[in-house]
Chains A and B, each alone.
Chain A
Amino acid sequence: MGQTAEKHGDNYINHSAGIKSWLLTLDHKRIGLMYFCTTMVFFLVGGIFALMMRMELFSPGMQYMTQDTFNKFFTYHGAIMVFMVIIPLIPAALGNLVLPMQLGAKDVAFPRWNLVSYYIYLGGALLAASTLFIKQVDTGWTFYTPYSIRSSTSATYVLLGAFTMGFSSILTGLNFIVTIHKLRAPGLTWDRLPLFLWALYATSVIQVLATPVLAITLLLLTLERTLGIGIFDPKLGGDPVLFQHFFWFYSHPAVYIMILPAMGVISEIIPAFSRKPIFGYKAIAAATFGIALVSFVVWGHHLFVSGQSELANFVFSLLTMFVAIPTGVKVFSWLGTLYKGSLRFDVPLLYAFGFLFVFTIGGLTGVFLAVVSVDVHLTDTYFVIAHFHYVMVGGTILAFLAGLHYWFPKFTGKMYHDGLAKVACWFVMIGFNVTFFPQFIVGALGMPRRYADYLPQFTEYNRLSTIGSWILGAGLFMVFINIARSLKSGKPAGDNPWGALTLEWQTPSPPPMENFKHDPVVTDGPYEYRGENVHWGMNA
């Protein structure tokens, strides 16, 4: 861990100056930062929509907006958060930053395509967002037919935007798969590959295999709206349920595009902050692929009430429960790693604990919903909303925040403000649970999702939920204040503040343009916290 001497040297941030050197860069770290900034802007926009919806739901009756406006708000909240934030968030932002470095590579396999992928993402996102200034969209992020065929809003541009962003996702996935295969450092055998990379690998496989199906589906729906081809339109003899099958054939695996990399982040952080080799390395890697595999054969659980056959319901219900097995393997492996570890409660570990706690609730309620008889009662209620926010926010966003604090010192060379980060973490945790836990209850009591209004007996739950959204919003706001502040005036972080063993920590912070001063050679696994590594070293 040679430090200090290189501290002020040439790195990827100061390597070249000027806006053009960023916009046309081929460097994976700079592209990762560009992804990060863009997703954060959309995260803010999607979050504002959520806060405004919660404001409206503070009391029964309509206070601040019309029902039509509310329909548009939940559509934008969903579409922005899914397509523009959570899908690119960990793979494209953190993945781009970390993946080549953990491999000991100078860059991804196809740097130029990497940049192209960013601009495709940006173009698609702007196209979809531009509808805010035209006739908006009110179909819900799932674009269910036949309503989405007839909606007089600018749904077509949102469809084309999501279609475009899909290609960015495909290119990133393709790039990562080839990079992991072809650019591993000498000695970095498959059984020494960090688990974050196994997670990104499995994610990339899903991106590559599932996204094209979404692409053709959205294209068909666009043609449906523009030419009236009739494939999904019952009026012309088409089949609207076929759309649901097509849509979920992508969008269910897409849920794992969102959660697998999050699990990868957790697998990095837990051993580093327990000072122990990870428990069940091979089991976690295999479980990652197990989840990816099963993810392709469970889409029918979104169609339990669509009129599909009893047999299909039975099969999809059973298959869906299989997801719980590899997921359980992971959760127990993480707990096994923590057991008797010498834990240090830095912010990344705090978020990782939050993840374990909240994600487990999200995962288990998923098993409830996999049971057909229960799902028939709970479908389209707030129970479903609560379930997937426990997975998507409580899982992906918390893991992202964990990863953000974990790798922030590496890629900026600065340390975040520890006190503020801890306060923010508690705000996020409490705010999140106060927002979404009441939704489980109110959903089970029968409050339907996507309605702008509700019956008076649900008022308390909704009030609590809205107050929670303010706490959560305040917590996230503090995270961003902390980042902005630390970029300017954070203390120097050192090359390896966590004493972690993966390759990205064995080079100066921020890393030099080509990542490593000397081409690294790997001689051991990524989590071999043994001997002198067991103790929190001089950096700690």
Chain B
Amino acid sequence: MSEHVTAAERLAGGHAHHFKDGDAEFQACKSGMWIFLVTEVLFFSGLFVMYAVLRVFNHDMMHEAHQLLNWKLGATNTVILICSSLSMAMAVTAAQTGRTKDCVRNLWITELFAVGFLCVKYVEYSHKIHEGILPGALWHYAEMSVAKAPLFISVYFVMTGIHALHVIVGMGVIYSLIRRAGRGDFGPNYFTPVEMTGLYWHFVDLVWIYLFPLLYLVS
């Protein structure tokens, strides 16, 4: 085996030259992906600490300012993302068992949910931008004069913005999977990219599960 392995070789059980077999390579990829997810957790942890510090010192402000957010839209997005996790999981199983059509279909469904999520996000963002409910120095919303409320909106935009960026990146990766799956790159011997993307996608959903109550349901 060489450094470069083609899709056809992989389907026949091939692997990169420095691994002893295909399973060793799969296990390595899986470890690598989990470590990557750990780095993602730490990346977001900075944001969560920022949130915690702000909340500890400005408890009342957080309570007032969170009413600027629409919890119904947030809840809708929570449901959408949970459903997308289901379709992603089904896509992974389909890839593992060699049901290519099922796999492609479920990946498309996941993409649709992601688009839905971003549409809701767009509605939320554009409403706030229109009203002047903006981060820090850009804030010009006259109807709320709670001190430091703009900081809460900063936290809101930064946290959900970075999360949305992760959703968009995920959509790009899923689209490349759709193309590769359509070409017949995956089968019972080789489904690593689908499974790894699945892990990533579940992680992105999980972050939202934390963001939703922390931002929309402060009490």
Q: B-contacting residues of A (Cβ < 8 Å)?
A: 26, 100, 105-111, 113, 170, 174-175, 177-178, 181-183, 208-213, 215-217, 219-220, 223, 227-231, 233, 236-239, 242, 246, 514
How far, in angstroms, from A238 to B162 measured CA to CA in the complex?
A: 20
A208–B34 Cα gap in the complex (Å)? 11
Contacts of B54 in A (CB 8 A): 231
24 A–B contacts from the bound complex (CB under 8 Å): A107-B3, A109-B32, A175-B32, A182-B31, A183-B19, A208-B38, A212-B42, A212-B43, A213-B43, A213-B45, A213-B46, A216-B44, A216-B46, A217-B46, A227-B137, A228-B135, A229-B136, A230-B136, A236-B136, A236-B137, A236-B151, A237-B147, A239-B53, A246-B50
Q: In the complex, A284→B80 CA distance in Å?
A: 51
Query: B37: shortest Cβ distance to chain A, in Å?
Result: 11
Complex CA–CA separation, A183 to B17 (angstroms): 12
Nearest 10 interchain pairs by C-beta:
A228-B137, A230-B136, A216-B46, A106-B18, A212-B43, A229-B154, A212-B42, A237-B148, A107-B18, A229-B136
Q: With contacts A178-B31, A212-B46, A246-B46 known, is A230 near B151, CB below 8 A?
A: yes
Most buried by B among A105, A212, A215: A212
Provide the residues of chain A in CB contact with B162, threshold 8 Å.
219
The interface bits of chain B over 26-45 (1 if a CB of A lies within 8 angstroms of the residue's CB, else 0) are 01110110011011101111
Report chain B residues within 8 Å CB of A213: 42-43, 45-46
For B38, what are the chain A residues with a Cβ–Cβ distance below 8 Å? 208-209
Q: Is B24 an interface residue (CB 8 A)?
A: yes
B138 & A238 in contact (Cβ 8 Å cutoff): no
| Interface assignment of B155: CB less than 8 Å from any CB of chain A | yes
Inter-chain CA distance A111–B19, complex, in Å, is: 12
Given the known interface contacts A213-B43, A231-B50, the answer about A174 and B36 at a Cβ–Cβ threshold of 8 Å is yes
Q: State the B residues within 8 Å of A (CB).
A: 3, 16-19, 24, 27-29, 31-32, 35-36, 38-40, 42-47, 49-50, 53-54, 57, 135-138, 147-148, 150-151, 154-155, 157-158, 162
Tell me if B39 and A211 are in contact (CB < 8 A). yes
Please determine whether B158 and A229 come into contact, CB atoms closer than 8 angstroms: yes
- How far, in Å, is B149 (CB) from chain A's closest CB? 9
CA distance A233 to B135 in the complex (A): 12
Query: How far in angstroms is the closest Cβ of chain B from A156?
Result: 16
Is the CB–CB distance between B39 and A231 below 8 Å? no
Closest beta carbon of chain B to A146's beta carbon, Å:
13
Knowing A227-B135, A228-B135, say if A109 contacts B39 (CB, 8 Å).
no
Q: A227 touches which one: B36, B53, B138 (CB < 8 A)? A: B138
Contacts known (A110-B32, A212-B39); A227 close to B136, Cβ less than 8 A = yes
Assembled-state Cα–Cα distance A223/B54 (Å): 17
* List of B residues within 8 angstroms of A239 by Cβ: 53, 57
Q: Do B18 and A183 have beta carbons less than 8 Å apart?
A: yes
Q: Contact between A233 and B35 (Cβ–Cβ < 8 Å)?
A: no
Q: Which residues of A contact B136 (CB under 8 A)?
A: 227-231, 233, 236, 238
Contact of A212 among B17, B27, B40, B135 (CB under 8 A): B40
Q: Which residue of B lies closest to A227 (CB)?
A: B135
Beyond known contacts A229-B136, A229-B158, A237-B151: 18 more, CB 8 A cutoff: A107-B3, A110-B29, A175-B32, A183-B18, A208-B35, A211-B39, A212-B39, A212-B43, A212-B45, A213-B45, A229-B154, A230-B135, A230-B150, A236-B136, A236-B137, A238-B151, A242-B50, A514-B17
B32 touches A26 (CB 8 A): no
CB distance from A29 to the nearest CB of B (A): 13
* A174 in contact with B35 (CB, 8 Å): yes
Could you say which residues of chain B place their CB within 8 Å of the CB of A514?
17
Which chain B residue shows the least CB distance to A113? B32
- The CB with the most chain B CB atoms within 10 A, among A106, A174, A217, A237, is that of A237
Docked CA distance A182–B50 (Å): 37
Residues of B with C-beta under 8 A to A105:
18
- Central interface residue in B29, B138, B158, B162, by most chain A CB within 10 Å: B158
The residues of B that contact A181 with a CB separation of less than 8 Å are: 28, 31
